[in-house]
Structure 1
């Protein structure tokens, strides 16, 4: 799966994040963790996209965990099953301040990313890419101009899935 969209403002970027997550959850296996690796410059729309993803699950994700590195959100058990696809936790991780994969392992990333009941969204994922298990979705953000962004979502598959 590969999907590209151009958004003209922050609101459209958030809406696209909501649509992407809802679409993928509607067909994703409850037995596999759902991981998104976000790649883009500062201010390219990554956090706004995550905000939209949160809205798909009735979560209020209004800022990036740049200083805390990781935020955890419980997905409401009252959501319809098809909306949450068996997922119970949503992790928003910002690797901007991490120096290496050992620091990611130190915050529990290796355990979190193997749990089939989680959604993990990672900003600055390129810093820990070698420890991210497939399958995952790579989401690339490109500045076109002040407000316009080109966002590409691509599934990176593991042969066994």
Structure 2
């Protein structure tokens, strides 16, 4: 799936993402400031989380509970120093928990990400739009 969109169209993009049967573990690939956290906030909201999601930059993971009881984990691995640090923190247990896992900066833990996951790539275009690819 590929989409080019403006930030004003992000709710429609989220509907299309879920219509394409994404896996429960989703990695997000984009440069800093392109909109990974913004997209994750909308995905979490779509799943029924009532309070606003924020970036877990300093805590590494935020946990949300959807209205239906589903647990959603949002990871920002940017500040990790090593994959071993992530393993010591038990991040792999989250990734294999069966719960939704939205992972920013997954390249910090390439050996811990489940093989069966969806990957979202976002690029900022010169006109300010985003180009999104889901694999």
Same fold, judged at TM 0.5 (above): yes
Query: 5+ residue gaps in structure 1?
Result: 29-33, 79-87, 155-161
Aligned-partner Cα distance in 2 for 1:102–1:23: 33
User: Which residue matches 1:107?
Assistant: 89
RMSD of aligned Cα (Å): 1.9
User: Which residue matches 1:74?
Assistant: 65
The 10-residue stretch of structure 1 (54-63 or 120-129) with the greater mean CA deviation from structure 2 = 54-63
Aligned-partner Cα distance in 2 for 1:129–1:18: 28
**CA, structure 1 residues 119+22, in 2 after alignment: closer, same or farther (shift >3 Å)?**
farther
- Residue 47 of structure 1: CA displacement? 0.8
Aligned-partner Cα distance in 1 for 2:12–2:81: 32
When normalised by structure 1's length, the TM-score is 0.74
Instruction: Give yes or no for the alignment of 1:4 onto 2:6.
Output: no
Aligned-partner Cα distance in 1 for 2:134–2:29: 10
Query: 5+ residue gaps in structure 2?
Result: none
Instruction: Give yes or no for the alignment of 1:57 onto 2:54.
Output: no
Within the candidate set 88, 92, 101, 2:74 is matched to 92
User: Which residue matches 1:158?
Assistant: none
Aligned-partner Cα distance in 2 for 1:50–1:57: 11
Is contact 1:36-1:138 (8 Å) kept? yes
Is contact 2:48-2:68 (8 Å) kept? no
Aligned-partner Cα distance in 2 for 1:22–1:71: 25
When normalised by structure 2's length, the TM-score is 0.87
**CA, structure 1 residues 107+15, in 2 after alignment: closer, same or farther (shift >3 Å)?**
farther
